Chains A and B, each alone.
Chain A
Amino acid sequence: MISFSWLASCKTPTEEVPEEWFDLNGFLKISNNGMVTIMSPNPEIGQNIKTSMPMIVAEELDVDWQNVIVEQAPLNTDIFKRQIAGGSQSIRQSWEALRMAGATARAVLKQAAAEKWKVPANEITTSFGQVEHKASGYKWGYGEVAALAAELPVPEEVALKDVKDFKIVGTSRKNVDAQKIVTGKPLFGLDYKAEGMLYAMIEHPPAFGMDLKSYDASEALAMPGIKDVFVVNTYKEEKERGWFDVDAFNNLIVVVGNSTWEVLSAKKKLKVEWEKTGDLESTEDHLRKLETLSGVEMKQSRKDGNPEQVFKKAAKVIERTYTAPFLAHNTMEPMNFFAHVTDEKAEFVGPIQTPEYMEKSASERLGLPLDKIDIKMTRMGGGFGRRLYGHFLVEAGVISQRLKAPVKLIYTREDDMTFGTYRPAYRADYKAALDENNNLVAFHVRAGGIPESPLFANRFPAGAVDNYLAEQWQIKSNITVGAWRAPRSNFIAGAEQAFLDEIAEAAGKDPIQFRLDLLERTKNNPVGDKNDYDPERYAGVLKLVKEKASWGTQKKTNTSRGVSAYFCHNSYVANVVDLTMKNGKPVIDKVYAAVDCGIVVNPDAATNMVEGGTVDGIGHAMYSAMTFKDGTPDQKNFNSYRLIRHNEAPKNIEVHFVKNKIDPTGLGEPPFPPVIGAVANAMYKATGERTYNQPFMAKDFEIKMI
């Protein structure tokens, strides 16, 4: 192995080098001189859990963060539960386990000290990595009792700290990998190397609905440095696929050689004949289907009261339609994986959000027992949901098994962008009824997509309206889709929040007060019992953003304002966006974000996530789209697929957190969806025209959308 270290130290320890480490439990070990190594159990995709998860352990362990070394944990679901990066759930679902890991270790350290000093354990206190018995004057470092502590049984029940006593959680701590990132150390899957490693690339069908017919590799094989060209079938046909086994193209041509450039050059020399095996869909067809919705089956997801009757008698009825295109994930680090498969075992190293699932897929495909599959998690150059689907890991395994050699599979940007697993294309139709007093008396949402619906039937404003109907539909497609940052919410939030703005306007109400009134209704007298949001916390972020943005009381400016608020992935976010139009283009001067994610584990890192999610949400709503012609993606690289650039980002983002003691929830996804609505609403204020179709700036570039 060449220069690759799994050790990610928070700092360079200046203390003497530890002589011995003592395992207190699977999460942590303590050295004879009091250094602490804490395992970060989950995959790191940029959400910063490699710092924040160990912070929670360190808090309950009661140590000095300066003495903590963080290591990426091995995949071991006996010790670590849910080693997945997805759904903004890492902190939320592991909060208690992380606290218990620290607290039980602290308990055995106290017990060990009690035995050493022959004093009662309940008289021992801890602070910054030291045990103390005040009455007898004993005060030792954890390192001095760690050997004995490691021998003691781990208690099943221990008292956890009171939130008010937290010293690490709730304080900003720097990214534990930052030093390595800014110096270009090998951290990512693409950086990993092993002795004798070969490089492999794939050639996949150019279109959805096409498969491999035949190929001629003679020219490619004659290229320098090329070892082999062959076909792999990633999954066996009879395999029952898990949700994480999404794989648009199962038959791939593989080119193997000594270096990336040699393989890349040879790949271009392949002569391939593809054959049509299914429909070759075009965006033009998609748009027509989305417009007519002919033949789609409506499925009722929720109904309260009698919306049909109320719509007939309404004083005002507002109807609007919103759409959004397919999107590619486009992680900056393209798909790749290292595999070394022998007759006995398989070693994998690389970027994967679902190692515990892919372990099973690899085991089945390679015919090796589960305990002979070893997957090491690298830091990932972005996830956004793309790396939940680990076909590339299986591909690397199959290639290595055939070659009987260690191999690194690398996707080019084009391979990556055209391999599917996209965010679906969506349409949502909204209809609202106001009575003669401008009260919202009926609400109807009908939402669907190609090939999946974005509907959440029990989210706001469900629960606040007496007559409510939610329906969904879908249109089949052979273009593969997958979870994409804030799945479904990434579209429906913007649509719903823009529609609420129109209802408020039609009702002659302030858009924040309009929402607060509805939330008050849900709080006091909810319609139905399946509403999946807390109206007080929802109102809380709206009130906070109202205050911070001086909504309604700000001095007169040239900027135009829009507001929105959304709840998804267990966290609440409200936005106010200030923008001005310059040369026909919106310039976002400022975004205010008010966030309720419960206890904020690492405030500056959390702020970074909110800033990034805000930029990402704005970027995709304004600029990004994936379109198709005869099954072939039109966008293959960043020259045609637009991602938001530095000069298009908001000039300023101000993030505020609601302060409470509620168990923490995630931030990877919640900041993304709502800002889209706030931008749309601000653009309306600036231009007098509503925007209904994403990407909002489609007219600015050569993508034909609705």
Chain B
Amino acid sequence: MHTLISQFWQLTFSGTVQGFIYVLISLGYTMVYGVLRMINFANSEIFMIGTFATVVITRDVLGHQANGADLHGFTLLYTMLLCLLGSMLASGLTAMLVELVAYRRLRSRGTNRLAPLISAIGMSIVLSESVSLMTAGRAVPAPEVLHKSSLFTVLGANIRIDQLLVFIVAPLMFLFLQRFVNHTRLGKGIRAVSMNEETAKLMGINLNRVISITFLIGGLMTGAAAFFFETIYEATKYNIGFNIGIAAFTAAVLGGIGNIRGAFIGGLMLGLLETYASAVLGSQWKAITVFLVLVIVLLFRPNGLFGEAVQQTRV
């Protein structure tokens, strides 16, 4: 308890940063859930592919060493941009592949809802095991792209540059996504499919295309989260998506799955809650705290904090 009070602002800041990463990943769950009413079980592996894309781009494409010199100026800028875009693209394409392999055929045949869940689990096993074979199951260190220097102190909280980057860019990406869904033609299509698939089809919406694009967008956001994660933690492994995927899914449910604004609040709450709980109870109990809070929230609001039925902001 003492740690929580003495380092409150520090914890709040790093919790918020962690929360923003969860927000982006939980969008991968919530967008897909919005249109398909199905859990995208492979999203944790989509995240994992993104982290590896970041490593491959910095290490193999741009040739930075794990212990090399710090990057500065223009080199730093284009490295980061390339990593971000590459990671987003890799995750986005993986997500489209998941949709094609695991969901499309089953969806068009209108089968029971558990069949796509299992084929998505199969896809997730295939992805993580392929990477495990390629990396011999070992953790892979990522070259340091951004030197972790402390910029300034606010209210006793050290603001590190990598965390500040997430703190600024992640909410911008979220706002961009929300504008996209609410104000573009394609976004309208996505919302229409989420409200009623059959009617949307009658209105001339190409269902396969909209669903494919929804997966792509979810994957892009998850990929961005993977890049931010790598910038902060600088290592990855074939099973890295598992825990963070569960946490992000919890965040999506906490806010009300299928609801974009809910994913934002849910992710933020989860990040803060985890950080506070680690400070008070020790980090080994943070997962339990999170799940207990989730159960309590669901007891009083069975559809999550913001509910599923916010049609305006719902995917």
The answer to whether A and B assemble together is no
Residues of A that sit less than 8 Å from B by CB: none
